[in-house]
Chains A and B, each alone.
Chain A
Amino acid sequence: MYRKIQIQLEDFGIDAVLESLKSQTSAAGGFCFFAGVVRDLNDDESIESLYLEHYPGMTEKQLHRILDQAESRFGLLGAVVVHRIGSLLAGDNIVLVAVAAGHRGEAFSACEMIMDYLKTQATFWKKESTSGGDRWVAARGSDLSKEAAWGDASN
């Protein structure tokens, strides 16, 4: 399976990722993309900016482990994960998951599984700046439920 994992300060573009995925996966007929962006509201407080940090080395390993599982479960032909770090403003792109599969069913499922696992296993942390001060974002129990719903909690 073609794969690319990028952790970067810079923004990303979806068109370029689609073109590179297509060029590497000629047997793929279905591509699915998920993009996560910074919201301007969380827990009823307005968000001015966000700071993202990660655990260099481990983050890349965790993302590879997640892609390994998606590949073996859905027979993916390609996957790209781009995750930004550093300071971001409301409306900025945070994360992109792009997958290539034979048909749409595997593509939709794999994209969702990769995002659900990324939320609970990839070593990133967000700090929000609000009008009331800075705060580290707390993990959501609902994210653990979504991960568990895939039935394989291995990491």
Chain B
Amino acid sequence: MACSEMVLTSDQPETVKALMAQIFLPDGQSLASYAETESLLLAVNQQMVDGDAPLNANDEVAFFPPVTGG
């Protein structure tokens, strides 16, 4: 995302997708809209989820590209 830290001030989003709509990339598009065309994996508390997964206080949320280990 071309930055190491980002501060979001908002009411608690109810789902991962709602959070992604509040995060903006340097080119101005939201992460939610980026994920419509690019492959992006989502995890909450280190478990893969889809965008409809609910969020709770203090959840650890991660967004990352398809994995390439092995």
Q: Is B1 an interface residue (CB 8 A)?
A: no
- Looking at the assembled complex, report how far the CB atom of B68 sits from the nearest CB atom of chain A, in whole angstroms: 4
Q: Which residues of B contact A125 (CB under 8 A)?
A: 64-65, 67-69
CB pair A118 B70 closer than 8 Å:
yes
CB pair B48 A139 closer than 8 Å:
no
Interface of B is mostly: loop
Partner of B68, one of A58, A61, A83, A124: A124
Per-residue interface assignment for chain A, residues 43 to 60, with 1 indicating a CB less than 8 Å from any chain B CB and 0 otherwise? 000000000101101100
CB pair B68 A126 closer than 8 Å:
yes
- Looking at the assembled complex, report how far the CB atom of B51 sits from the nearest CB atom of chain A, in whole angstroms: 15
Q: Is A29 an interface residue (CB 8 A)?
A: no
Bound-state Cα–Cα, A36 to B48, Å: 25
Q: Is A94 an interface residue (CB 8 A)?
A: yes
Q: Is A122 an interface residue (CB 8 A)?
A: yes
Per-residue interface assignment for chain B, residues 34 to 70, with 1 indicating a CB less than 8 Å from any chain A CB and 0 otherwise? 0000010001001110000000000000101111111
Partner of A139, one of B39, B46, B47, B62: B39
Q: Which residues of B contact A139 (CB under 8 A)?
A: 39, 65-68
Bound-state Cα–Cα, A114 to B7, Å: 38
Bound-state Cα–Cα, A123 to B70, Å: 10
Which residues of A are interface residues toward B (Cβ below 8 A)?
36, 52, 54-55, 57-58, 61-62, 83, 94-95, 115, 118-126, 136-139, 155
User: 19 more A-B contacts (CB under 8 A) besides A122-B67, A123-B67, A123-B69?
Assistant: A55-B64, A58-B46, A61-B46, A62-B48, A95-B69, A115-B70, A120-B66, A120-B67, A122-B70, A124-B67, A124-B68, A124-B69, A125-B64, A125-B69, A126-B68, A126-B69, A136-B65, A139-B39, A139-B68
Q: What are some 12 contacts across the A-B interface (CB < 8 A)?
A: A52-B69, A54-B69, A55-B43, A55-B46, A55-B64, A61-B47, A95-B69, A122-B69, A123-B43, A125-B65, A125-B68, A139-B68
Which residues of B are interface residues toward A (Cβ below 8 A)?
39, 43, 46-48, 62, 64-70
